[in-house]
């Protein structure tokens, strides 16, 4: 098996349309270098628009500093695009002959260790592998639009696909913030699109038969079951509908209705010009006041809001985002010298897009967030963090006083320091400062009194000398520092 950490972070995107462009954005924003091949004369402009949308929305999902964006290049041949790539994503039109031709060109130049993934929404991997030089290298990696926001990715292998390479693919996808759905058996249209197309078929009949307009059908999803599915899916939603007796009761109660002639899912309406024009006219009336670019931005902003809500609850797609945050480089400085006779610089980072309010500056909550992370860093430095907490002891916040001096803008580099004003075995008096890295502006300060607590009894107790040893080293080093000018002030003091 290939270790993913040994692979180059270089991706080749073959076909730079909506899906291929979304893949390019996903990789680039995850710190990968990306080379794109697309012979269409507007390919670079199309990708630029997709990247602009991705850059304005995807970073707002992260609560950690994203890696430096990768380098984007364009190639004039497939061979040049895939050279030295660890991942190749094929996103060309859904015609099997075209895909066979493109895959053959990819395999003539790509490393044998690379993943060759296809964005196909319908073809099975065994169909893609027909007459291929190395069928074991090819698999389906089917994403969902917009690829740079939605984490789901269907990974489909055939019996000929290298199982070790499939595992590598899954690990790489997780490393760029995606959720691989490992499809157990290859099947036409995989899982999600089979489900979606059944709903799409029924919607076409409802329009054709004059029962509902495109807007009315969308409203039935928008204000109803679509909200449930965004956070609980189909089966879990129906499990709740069964009440305390659960899924078995639901199926026994409502299952017989599936035999009734409610739907026309097995039939497909003829998509003649009359029906095409009817749907197009209704769609224009529904959404024609917005350009496609405007609708894309509206969709992305809404998705960010929904995903962040799920993230706060560590649920569904939000849990995937939280796991991705954990993989990003930490902002805490672990190499500080406890004996330094200066405030300890324990937190470095940037003002993230998700931290910005309607005024374009960092919210008050995020100032507290940074100071909280700086406190976590201090506890790690003095060996009184997670492992110490497992022993039943911790520092509890008894009193705080925050002051705000200046504003911080999106992507601005900032850092935070800690000065120990006083410490003994029961009390820890700390002064935090936050600065803009570029010009050392003081942005905010936080003065805190912590008490050492036995968590079982809830009482203030003394930490033993060995546990507090590193803390006392820092306190001694800071003893001669000038007391911060605003320390000890009360709210409203001039």
48-72 pLDDT, tens digit each: 999 999 998 898 888 877 889 999 9
Beta bridge partners of 448: 400, 430
More confident residue, 257 or 414: 414
Give the per-residue pLDDT at 5. Answer: 57
Kindly report which listed range (119-128, 278-287, 332-341) carries the lowest average pLDDT score. 332-341
Percent of the chain with pLDDT over 70: 96
Kindly report which listed range (185-194, 344-353, 422-431) carries the lowest average pLDDT score. 344-353
Return the DSSP state at 459: E
- For domain 344-478, say whether CATH 1.20.120.330 is its number: no
Mean pLDDT across 442-461 = 96
Mean pLDDT across 226-248 = 86
Instruction: Encode pLDDT of 214-233 as tens digits.
Output: 999 999 999 899 988 988 88
CATH class of 4-190: alpha beta
Residue 173 has pLDDT above 60, yes or no: yes
The DSSP result for 87-155, as a single string, is EEEE---S-HHHHHHHHHHHHTTS-TTSEEEE--SS--HHHHTTT-S-GGGEEEEEE-SSTTT--EEEE
Q: How confident is the model at residue 1 (pLDDT cuts 50, 70, 90)?
A: very low
Q: How far apart are CA 422 and CA 479, in angstroms?
A: 8
Give the per-residue pLDDT at 332. Answer: 47
Q: How confident is the model at residue 329 (pLDDT cuts 50, 70, 90)?
A: low
Give the per-residue pLDDT at 339. Answer: 67
Domain ranges of the chain: 4-190, 193-289, 344-478
Give the per-residue pLDDT at 437. Answer: 92
Q: Which of 95-99, 319-323, 375-379 has the highest mean pLDDT?
A: 95-99
Give the per-residue pLDDT at 207. Answer: 94
List the one residue out of 389, 341, 344, 384 whose CA is nearest residue 470.
Answer: 384
Instruction: Encode pLDDT of 12-54 as tens digits.
Output: 999 999 999 999 999 999 999 999 999 999 999 999 999 999 9
Place of tokens 């890295």: 437
Neighbours of 28 (CB within 10 A): 24
Mean pLDDT across 369-382 = 92
Kindly report which listed range (239-253, 372-386, 422-436) carries the lowest average pLDDT score. 239-253
Residue 2 has pLDDT above 60, yes or no: no
CATH class of 193-289: mainly alpha
């Amino acid at each position: 098996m290939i270790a993913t950490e040994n692979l180059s972070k270089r991706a080749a995107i073959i076909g730079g349309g909506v899906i291929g462009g979304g893949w390019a954005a996903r990789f680039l924003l995850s710190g990968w270098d990306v080379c794109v091949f697309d012979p269409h004369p507007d390919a670079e402009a199309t990708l630029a628009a997709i990247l602009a949308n991705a850059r304005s929305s995807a970073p707002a999902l992260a609560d950690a500093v994203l890696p430096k964006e990768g380098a984007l290049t364009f190639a004039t041949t497939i061979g040049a695009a895939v050279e030295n790539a660890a991942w190749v994503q094929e996103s060309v039109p859904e015609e099997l002959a075209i895909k066979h031709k493109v895959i053959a060109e990819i395999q003539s130049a790509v490393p044998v260790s690379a993943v060759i993934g296809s964005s196909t929404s319908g073809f099975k991997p065994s169909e893609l592998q027909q007459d291929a030089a190395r069928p074991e290298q090819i698999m389906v990696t089917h994403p969902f639009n917009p690829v740079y926001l939605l984490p789901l990715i269907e990974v489909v292998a055939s019996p000929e696909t290298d199982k070790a390479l499939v595992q590598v693919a899954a690990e790489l996808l997780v490393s760029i913030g995606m959720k691989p759905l490992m499809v157990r058996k290859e099947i036409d249209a995989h899982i999600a699109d089979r489900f979606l197309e059944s709903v799409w078929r029924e919607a076409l009949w409802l329009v054709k038969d004059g029962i509902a307009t495109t807007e009315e059908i969308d409203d039935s999803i928008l204000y109803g079951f679509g909200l449930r599915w965004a956070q609980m899916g189909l089966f879990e939603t129906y499990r709740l509908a069964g009440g305390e007796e659960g899924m078995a009761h639901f199926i026994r109660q409502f299952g017989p209705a599936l035999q009734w002639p409610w739907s026309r899912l097995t039939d497909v309406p003829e998509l003649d010009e009359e029906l095409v024009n009817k749907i197009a006219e209704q769609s224009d009336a529904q959404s024609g006041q917005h350009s496609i670019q405007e609708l894309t931005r509206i969709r992305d902003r809404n998705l960010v809001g929904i995903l962040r809500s799920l993230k706060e609850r560590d649920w569904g797609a939000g849990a995937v985002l939280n796991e991705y945050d954990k993989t990003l480089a930490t902002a805490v400085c672990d190499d500080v010298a406890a004996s330094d006779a200066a405030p300890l610089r324990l937190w470095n980072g940037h003002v993230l897009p998700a931290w910005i309010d309607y005024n374009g500056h960092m919210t008050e909550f995020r100032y507290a967030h940074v100071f909280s992370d700086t406190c976590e860093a201090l506890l790690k430095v003095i060996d009184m963090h997670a492992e110490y907490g497992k022993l039943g002891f911790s520092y509890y916040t008894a009193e705080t006083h925050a002051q705000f001096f200046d504003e911080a803008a999106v992507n601005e580099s900032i850092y935070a320091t800690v000065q120990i004003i006083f410490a003994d075995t029961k009390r820890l008096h700390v002064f935090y400062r936050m600065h803009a890295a570029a010009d050392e502006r003081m942005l905010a300060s936080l003065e805190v009194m912590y008490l050492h607590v036995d968590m079982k009894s809830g009482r203030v107790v003394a930490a033993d000398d060995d546990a507090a040893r590193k803390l006392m080293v820092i306190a001694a080093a800071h003893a001669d520092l000038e007391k911060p000018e605003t320390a000890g002030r009360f709210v409203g003091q001039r």
